[in-house]
Amino acid sequence: EAGVTQFPSHSVIEKGQTVTLRCDPISGHDNLYWYRRVMGKEIKFLLHFVKESKQDESGMPNNRFLAERTGGTYSTLKVQPAELEDSGVYFCASSQGHTSGSYEQYFGPGTRLTVT
């Protein structure tokens, strides 16, 4: 079974540009999460989807960040316009949820975003 995949693995953009990160969860997982780790800090929660609905977006830093999960499958996280402080590693995680009662979160390899 394929794990959580993320694309791209690394992105370097200039301040003011737009970047879109993609996450493909484990097949059949209803729950999808985005997290971020900035340099020297712990991994922090950004938001949580249940299928295509945003369940919790309390961790989104500001309105420059837009997450979508059309059709309840893959998700995208767009940063527009990017700022220097957005640099970090963005992780996606998924879990099965209500259908199985399993909420263990499995993480993807992350996208390393560098804003210059």
Partner 1 sequence: QKEVEQDPGPLSVPEGAIVSLNCTYSNSAFQYFMWYRQYSRKGPELLMYTYSSGNKEDGRFTAQVDKSSKYISLFIRDSQPSDSATYLCAMSPPAAGNKLTFGGGTRVLVKP
Stretch that binds partner 1, among 16-24, 31-39, 65-73, 77-85 (CB under 8 A): 31-39
- Partnered with residue 78 across adjacent β-strands are 20, 66
Sign of CA dihedral 69, 58, 83, 6: negative
Beta strands in 19-104, from DSSP E residues, in sequence order: 19-24, 31-37, 44-50, 53-56, 65-68, 75-79, 88-95
Shortest spacing between CB 71 and partner 1, in angstroms: 19
d(CA 18, CA 1): 32
Shortest spacing between CB 62 and partner 1, in angstroms: 18
CA 97 to chain centre: 18
Residue 14 is a binding residue for partner 1 (CB under 8 A): no
Residue 41 is a binding residue for partner 1 (CB under 8 A): yes
Residue 77 is a binding residue for partner 1 (CB under 8 A): no
Q: Which residue, 75 or 95, has its beta carbon nearer to partner 1?
A: 95
Nearest in space to 108 (alpha carbons), one of 18, 14, 16, 36:
36
Q: How many amino acids of this chain bind partner 1 (CB under 8 A)?
A: 29
Query: Interface with partner 1 by CB under 8 A: which residues?
Result: 4, 31, 33, 35, 41-45, 48, 50, 55-56, 58-59, 91, 93, 95, 97-98, 103-110, 112
